[in-house]
Amino acid sequence: MPAEKLGEEKQSRRRRLPVIQRTKVEEEARPVGERGVAKGRPTPSVRRRQEEEDEGNILERTGGGLSEYVQGVRSELQKVAWPSRQETQRLTIIVVATLIASALILGIISAAFTELFRIGLNAPIILFAVIAVAVVAGFIVFRMNSRRASY
């Protein structure tokens, strides 16, 4: 690569586009900070939106938007793969069985803690012993899990 002489600028390979001078009338016609306006004219998307806004009165525009929404919802619902009657029954049974099992388990846990605290308030030493056993058991489980994870 040849060395450039001082005072000479490197020529760009890309052709530079001429800068378009706007007249004062064009600058005044364009509000400051207006989006969607290029070279003093609205862009295609802004023109389309302006044309849509100009069509019909408020009831027609609202009704048109509402009907488009309903048509979109209908088309999406037609794309849904609905389960068969047997699948629906099977899945419903699974959900209800899981709900009943979890309710029973949580009820038993709640009853056990209620009874534990009732006994513990009458004899605090029993409550402290159960808490100590729970803490030791939790520590042992934590250590066993951390050993498994380290391999």
pLDDT band at 13 (very low <50, low <70, confident <90, very high): low
Q: Which of 56-60, 116-120, 147-151 has the lowest mean pLDDT?
A: 56-60
Buried b (16+ CB within 10 A) or exposed e, 9-26: eeeeeeeeeeeeeeeeee
pLDDT digits (tens, 9 = 90+) for 45-67: 766 766 666 666 666 666 667 88
pLDDT at 31 over 70: no
Q: What percent of the chain has pLDDT over 90?
A: 33
Helices then strands, each counted (H, E), the chain: 5, 2
- The H-or-E segment that residue 41 falls in is strand 41-42
Query: Locate tokens 């050993």: which residue?
Result: 147
pLDDT at 39 over 80: no
Residue type present at position 17: L
The whole-angstrom separation of Cα 55 and Cα 61 is 7
Whole-model pTM: value is 0.41
The whole-angstrom separation of Cα 132 and Cα 125 is 10
Q: Domain map of the chain by residue range?
A: 35-79, 94-150
Question: Is the separation of the CB atoms in 127 and 137 below 8 Å?
Answer: no
Please state whether 30 falls in left (phi above 0), alpha (psi between -120 and 50) or beta: beta
Residue 69 CA, chain-centre distance (Å), reads 21
pLDDT at 134 over 90: yes
pLDDT digits (tens, 9 = 90+) for 90-100: 999 999 999 99
Q: Which letter does DSSP use for residue 38 in this model?
A: E
